[in-house]
């Protein structure tokens, strides 16, 4: 009884907060809304718009997230995902991606080269193989067998940046300086099913063969059809230490809102990563009621939220001053 009162109160105050202050509390006023799609960073806006076309015509959340993140993968201006992504230290663009459905089916690729849409390869790994992940040459071979085109993904712009890095080796990633990172996207469709996708070129100038959190189910992405979904961006080496996306979903299962769950996961991340002040991490989450939430470790983490009220960019709350 007490708990029910609390939940009702939360719902009422959330509604009150939502009216007339759209910019401040998008995660609250989205309550009980379907469909909804949320994605990391500024480039999440364009990705959301594509996902929304699928969702608003009663498409599935799974189709929506794949369609959505393909926009960032194909955009040469987004230098941390797909085509135009910054290469590893050997000048090779290697891509990681994962996708997960409400019924726990999942697929992923890691260290995949020459294929513009790793998310679609990940989906086919899920749908057409008995496995969940393919990496490197094996992933490329599978993609080619499935009819994907082999392409040069290193744009002149990314090549020039890499050559400059090679010449000076002084490039040190600055937290959020470029404000475009991995795209993680979560959606709830009109049928009430949730799905997620995550795709990245990973850390610029990483060692060849390095794989981050993004294609790792439970770390960079997790979906549970009974609870909701979460995805991550930021330093993969820190995120995997706490299996962050799985943790966030479990925290929601225990009754936390998506925002609370993201915040609690960041508190855990701090405990397990002594160098936390030097890194950035951002989480977004969505539950089956259509409530969304996000939290960044440092200031500057943004996300895009599309509800029936529209598509907007929001700055997430952050943990550190
Ligand atoms: N999480 C990604 C990785 O570690 C990078 C990012 O989100 O910027 O590969």
CA of 220 to the centre of ligand 1 (A): 9
Q: For 28-315, which CATH class?
A: alpha beta
| pLDDT computed for residue 174 by the predictor | 56
The rounded distance, in Å, linking the Cα atoms of 197 and 73 is 12
Query: What is the pTM (predicted TM-score) of this model?
Result: 0.89
182: annotated active-site residue: yes
Mutation to probe ligand 1, out of 95, 182, 238 (largest number of atoms < 8 A from CB): 182
Q: What is the pLDDT of residues 291-303, one digit of tens each?
A: 999 999 999 999 9
Q: Give residue 33's pLDDT band: very low, low, confident or very high (50, 70, 90).
A: confident
Q: 12 C-alpha vs ligand 1 centroid, how far in Å?
A: 37
**pLDDT at residue 148, as a whole number:** 98
Q: Which residue has the higher pLDDT, 203 or 118?
A: 118
Atom of ligand 1 minimally distant from the CA of 235: 4
The pLDDT assigned to 74 comes to 94
Choice from 220, 281, 284 to test ligand 1 binding pocket (greatest atom count within 8 A of CB): 220
Closest to 46 in 3D by CA, of 23, 27, 66, 70: 70
**In sequence order, what are the beta bridge partners of 287?**
228
235-291 per-position pLDDT tens digit: 999 999 999 999 999 999 999 999 999 999 999 999 999 999 999 999 999 999 999
Q: Read off the tokens for 257.
A: 């809102």
Domain definitions of the chain by residue range:
28-315
- 96 touches 200 (CB < 8 A): yes
The predicted pLDDT at position 307 comes to 96
Residues found in the chain: 321
Spot the catalytic one: 40, 60, 182, 233: 182
């Amino acid at each position: 009884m007490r708990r029910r009162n609390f939940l009702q109160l939360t719902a009422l105050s959330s509604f009150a907060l939502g009216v007339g202050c759209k910019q401040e509390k998008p995660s609250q006023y989205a309550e009980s809304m379907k469909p909804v799609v949320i994605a990391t960073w500024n480039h999440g806006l364009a990705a959301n718009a594509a996902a929304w076309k699928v969702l608003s015509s009663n498409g599935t959340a799974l189709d929506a997230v794949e369609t959505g993140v393909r926009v960032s993968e194909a955009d040469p201006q987004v230098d941390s995902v797909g085509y135009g992504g910054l290469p590893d230290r050997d000048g090779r663009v290697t891509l990681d991606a994962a996708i997960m459905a409400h019924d726990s089916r999942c697929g992923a690729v890691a260290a995949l080269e020459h294929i513009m849409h790793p998310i679609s390869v990940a989906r086919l790994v899920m749908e057409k193989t008995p496995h969940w992940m393919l990496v490197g040459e094996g992933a490329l071979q599978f993609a080619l067998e499935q009819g994907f085109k082999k392409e040069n993904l290193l744009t002149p712009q990314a090549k020039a940046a890499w050559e400059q890095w090679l010449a000076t080796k002084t490039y040190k990633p600055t937290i959020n300086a470029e404000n475009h990172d991995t795209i993680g996207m979560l959606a709830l469709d009109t049928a009430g099913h949730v799905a997620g996708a995550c795709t990245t070129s990973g850390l610029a100038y990483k060692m060849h063969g390095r794989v981050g959190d993004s294609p790792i189910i439970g770390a960079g992405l997790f979906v549970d059809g009974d609870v909701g979904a979460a995805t991550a961006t930021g330093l993969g080496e820190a995120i995997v230490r706490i299996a962050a996306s799985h943790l966030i979903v479990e925290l929601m299962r225990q009754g936390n809102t998506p925002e609370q769950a993201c915040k609690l996961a960041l508190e855990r991340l701090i405990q397990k990563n002594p160098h936390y002040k030097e890194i950035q991490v951002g989480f977004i989450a969505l539950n089956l009621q259509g409530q969304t939430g996000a939290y960044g470790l440092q200031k500057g983490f943004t996300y895009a939220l599309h509800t029936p009220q529209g598509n907007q960019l929001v700055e997430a709350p952050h943990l550190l001053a």
